[in-house]
A and B are shown apart, each in its own frame.
Chain A
Amino acid sequence: MKKLLTAASLLALTTLPSLAEPLKIGVITTLSGPAGYLGEQVRDGLQLAIDQEGGKLGGVDVELVVEDDGLKPGNGLQIADKFMNEEGIKLITGIIFSNVAGATVPEVVENDAIYISPNAGPSNLAGAGCNKNYFVVSWQNDSLHEATGAAAKALGYKKVVALAPNYQAGKDAIAGFKREFGGDVTEIYTQLEQTDFAPEMAQIRAAAPDAVFQFHPGGMGIAFLKQYVQAGLSKDIPMIVSEPSADGVILNAVGEAAVGLKATTHWNADFDNEANKAMVAAWAAKHPDKPLTTYGQQAYDVGLLIASALKKTGGIDDLDAFRAALKEADFTSTRGDFKFGPNQHPVQDWFMVDIVAGPDGKPMWVTKEKLRDDVGDVYAAECKM
């Protein structure tokens, strides 16, 4: 009987009319290890945008193909090759870390596929290395930290110790911070995946600055903040960070010790616009136990951008038309103002947020003021497309 049923169902399967294949979107992201929650946010944010439209983007059926890069540039490259050559995927997104992006993105965009970044915006791909197939929805790395530099200047700090891991995004971070800050900066480079920052804490204490700026995304940020508080530094030296070093997950893991931090961001959950309210509500309904971070928001915006382009073109077979539609950025971003600059990186506003104790006691971001209005990035002028 059972065999018969199986045979019958197999038969039923083969006689069904074959449906049109959904458009595949390749997602290369970091899902394992301490930075795994960053990739999880990107995956879930993108999926949320798709679910909001009932499995479609811009009226076109889409399907995510997700692979974990394990924060290894070589893996990212391999996955991209597999996506393009074996699965025929022409639209790729998802990379969190600039070192993975640096190895993977050129391979994608030089092979007539589109890459849309939901996070990493390394400097080497923003200027002379720009490409017509490469779009960044999040921010250019430097501009993320230029906002923090501007905030530090506005707060009247003169002497700052700046710390970041010794890799592309870390160097971009300190360069960006210095560009807008203009004061005296002592640079300290840490190592990617470092866990114990005690030596750096001692150096900060010895330098006795007006404030500390640090860029440590993911698990590194948790360890850094905890140790900063434990070393008793938070009482004397204020800390100012850019958004990746104080996301909701980091704040939850650090707890009330994070209250009093200052951060700069391009987006916050309390922004008063329809697109943002819809996203925040949908996220809270679907992931009640996970805070929505900028990573999730950026990926959601990637979804909205793709939807806006697909609505015009109906597919990506005509790559030129799809690219042109993307470039128009004809969507309402959850962050408010958004358009692409000449290098297809965002031109957007930046804000300062205070970190305060929320109604449930957990620390949260409250938007304080707009710092910069409609800014792009310094590399745009070098881009010849």
Chain B
Amino acid sequence: MILFLEQLLNGLQYGVMLFLLAAGLTLIFGIMGVINLAHGSLYMIGAYAGTLAAMQTGSFWLGVPVALIAAALTGLVMEAVVIRRLYARDHLDQVLATFGLILFFNQSIILLFGRQPMFTQLPDLFSGAVEVIPGLPYPSYRLFIIAVGLLVALGLYLIINRTRIGMLVRAGSTNREMVRALGVDIRLLYTLVFGLGALLAGLAGFLAGPVLAVQVGMGEQILLSTFVVVVIGGVGSIKGAFVAGISLGVIDTMLRAFLPGMLRQVMAGPEADALGVGISSMGIYLLMALVLLVRPKGLFMAGS
């Protein structure tokens, strides 16, 4: 039971991470119609900038604003220089251009910082473990990530549903042309949305730093799962990104944790392990296929 609860928390933490990345990606895809493969690069830039600042100043918390600003600024420049030229073009061009950006950013990081991963440190406040229930110590930093993720979700919900900008964002993801026809400066809206998406990616990257490794290519490792979240949740829907992110995080973790053990009950050890690992790594893609069969536009397709 304790093991199950711990895995549930692990799944929740992974899901929150996926949500932070998917929220930006789904907005950019839904509102601007751009497939941005370089979203993972923004995640990496947030991690590098924040970690560097935290190391220089010795304070983890100073890393947060630096990560956010660096990722958002990079996002804004990227939008102005590259993405803006892609709105009218088809998806293949967008994929090519943003894939080029991945290569560009990865090589730039190698030139600036080398190939060796950076040293990261936990903030003192969250360096220990908390006894969530008796007999289950859980790293407090992971609880902190979960809390931040839920707060961001709440904040996004309020912005999207209670503010004028949010109204435009919702309108934009439903019918872009109509918003433009009504005289809204859609270009400014695009820039804002892109900047917001970049900011969230940067936050996710910086938070992930102390748990994972801050290194070149860290963004691509999580990008694929993020796209799965966007597709399952429905393009353009923050609610979808939240629900899909958390469910995928939990399902993926549970499959990895318990499937090999369950299979071992019915078959020999090595085969059970191989099959279990195989199925659990396919798990989220199988789920995506199933969801697409039932709801081809995802669970919460905006404007459906």
* A interface with B by C-beta (< 8 Å): 31-34, 36-37, 40, 166, 187-191, 193, 195-196, 198-199, 202-203, 205-206, 219, 222-223, 226-227, 230-232, 249, 252-255, 289-290
What are 19 A-B residue pairs whose CB atoms fall within 8 Å in the complex?
A33-B217, A34-B218, A40-B115, A187-B270, A187-B273, A190-B277, A195-B212, A195-B221, A198-B10, A198-B13, A199-B256, A203-B257, A219-B213, A219-B215, A219-B218, A222-B213, A226-B120, A226-B212, A232-B137
Asked if A32 and B217 sit within 8 Å, CB to CB, the answer is: yes
Q: How far is the CB of A23 from chain B (nearest CB, A)?
A: 28
- Among candidates A199, A231, A253, A289, residue contacting B117 with C-beta atoms closer than 8 Å: A253
Kindly list chain A residues whose C-beta atoms are within 8 Å of the C-beta of B139: 230-232
Which chain B residues in 213-253 approach chain A with CB under 8 Å?
Answer: 213, 215-218, 220-222, 253
Main secondary structure of the interface of A (DSSP, over half): helix
CA distance in complex: A115, B90 (Å): 45
Asked if B6 and A202 sit within 8 Å, CB to CB, the answer is: yes
Asked if B281 and A34 sit within 8 Å, CB to CB, the answer is: no
- Among candidates A34, A223, A249, A289, residue contacting B216 with C-beta atoms closer than 8 Å: A34
Given contacts A32-B217, A34-B218, A36-B216, contact A198 B14 (CB under 8 A): yes
Kindly list chain A residues whose C-beta atoms are within 8 Å of the C-beta of B13: 198
CA distance in complex: A188, B13 (Å): 22
Asked if A193 and B221 sit within 8 Å, CB to CB, the answer is: yes
Given contacts A34-B218, A199-B257, A202-B3, contact A187 B116 (CB under 8 A): no
Asked if B221 and A166 sit within 8 Å, CB to CB, the answer is: no
Asked if A227 and B216 sit within 8 Å, CB to CB, the answer is: no
Q: How many A-B residue pairs have CB under 8 A?
A: 116
Q: How far is the CB of B48 from chain A (nearest CB, A)?
A: 13
Kindly list chain B residues whose C-beta atoms are within 8 Å of the C-beta of A253: 116-120, 213
CA distance in complex: A126, B137 (Å): 45
B59 sits at the interface (CB 8 A): no
Closest to B138 in A: A231
Asked if B211 and A202 sit within 8 Å, CB to CB, the answer is: no
Asked if B222 and A195 sit within 8 Å, CB to CB, the answer is: yes
Main secondary structure of the interface of B (DSSP, over half): helix
B122 sits at the interface (CB 8 A): yes
Q: Mark B94-133, 1 if CB is under 8 A from A, else 0.
A: 0000000000001000100011111111100000110000
List 14 extra interface pairs beyond A36-B217, A198-B14, A253-B118, CB under 8 A. Answer: A31-B115, A32-B106, A32-B216, A32-B217, A33-B217, A191-B277, A193-B221, A196-B10, A196-B212, A205-B6, A226-B212, A231-B129, A252-B119, A254-B119
Asked if B116 and A37 sit within 8 Å, CB to CB, the answer is: yes
B39 sits at the interface (CB 8 A): no
Q: Mark B154-167, 1 if CB is under 8 A from A, else 0.
A: 00000000000000
Given contacts A33-B216, A253-B213, contact A222 B117 (CB under 8 A): yes
CA distance in complex: A193, B215 (Å): 13
Kindly list chain B residues whose C-beta atoms are within 8 Å of the C-beta of A189: 260, 273-274, 277
Asked if A37 and B115 sit within 8 Å, CB to CB, the answer is: yes
Q: How far is the CB of B143 from chain A (nearest CB, A)?
A: 11
Kindly list chain A residues whose C-beta atoms are within 8 Å of the C-beta of B270: 187
Asked if A202 and B10 sit within 8 Å, CB to CB, the answer is: yes
Given contacts A187-B269, A191-B277, A206-B3, contact A196 B14 (CB under 8 A): yes
B7 sits at the interface (CB 8 A): yes
Sorted from nearest, which 4 A-B pairs have the closest CB atoms? A198-B10, A199-B257, A33-B217, A222-B213
Kindly list chain B residues whose C-beta atoms are within 8 Å of the C-beta of A227: 211
CA distance in complex: A15, B235 (Å): 65
CA distance in complex: A272, B257 (Å): 45
Asked if B118 and A34 sit within 8 Å, CB to CB, the answer is: no
Q: How far is the CB of A97 from chain B (nearest CB, A)?
A: 15
Asked if B253 and A198 sit within 8 Å, CB to CB, the answer is: yes
Kindly list chain B residues whose C-beta atoms are within 8 Å of the C-beta of A196: 10, 14, 211-212
Kindly list chain A residues whose C-beta atoms are within 8 Å of the C-beta of B6: 202, 205
Kindly list chain A residues whose C-beta atoms are within 8 Å of the C-beta of B128: 232
Kindly list chain A residues whose C-beta atoms are within 8 Å of the C-beta of B300: none
Kindly list chain B residues whose C-beta atoms are within 8 Å of the C-beta of A252: 116, 119
Kindly list chain A residues whose C-beta atoms are within 8 Å of the C-beta of B120: 226, 253
- Among candidates A199, A202, A249, A255, residue contacting B116 with C-beta atoms closer than 8 Å: A249
Closest to A37 in B: B115
Q: How far is the CB of B302 from chain A (nearest CB, A)?
A: 29
CA distance in complex: A203, B217 (Å): 28
Kindly list chain B residues whose C-beta atoms are within 8 Å of the C-beta of A34: 117, 213, 215-218, 221
B65 sits at the interface (CB 8 A): no
- Among candidates A33, A199, A222, A289, residue contacting B10 with C-beta atoms closer than 8 Å: A199
CA distance in complex: A181, B154 (Å): 52
B141 sits at the interface (CB 8 A): yes
Kindly list chain B residues whose C-beta atoms are within 8 Å of the C-beta of A36: 110, 115, 216-217
B142 sits at the interface (CB 8 A): yes
